[in-house]
Amino acid sequence: MTGDGKSLRIIHLDSSTLHSSAHSFKLNNILYVPDIKRNLLSIYQFCVDNNVFVEFLPWCFLKQKLKLHGN
């Protein structure tokens, strides 16, 4: 559902991998919605799927692996 309450048609669901120079990241539950003209990324889902957190700064963003207490 969009911000104005309209529903959009999802025609495909998939998964993929995003590769960087140092890591590969899982992208789960990718929705193909033909009426959306831009690619969107759920930061919450990205962080959960890859056990990371993201910090946004005015000039860049940083990704860090989560370290759980006792590990």
* 53 has a pLDDT exceeding 50: yes
Please give the pLDDT value at position 69. 53
* 71 has a pLDDT exceeding 70: no
Average pLDDT over residues 14-32: 92
Percent of the chain predicted with pLDDT > 70: 86
Please give the pLDDT value at position 55. 83
* 38 has a pLDDT exceeding 70: yes
Question: Which pLDDT band, with edges at 50, 70 and 90, does 68 fall under?
Answer: low
B/e letters for 48-66, b = 16+ CB within 10 Å, e = fewer, are: eebebeeeeeeeeeeeeee
Element holding 28 (H helix, E strand) = strand 24-32
Chain-centre distance of CA 3, in angstroms? 18
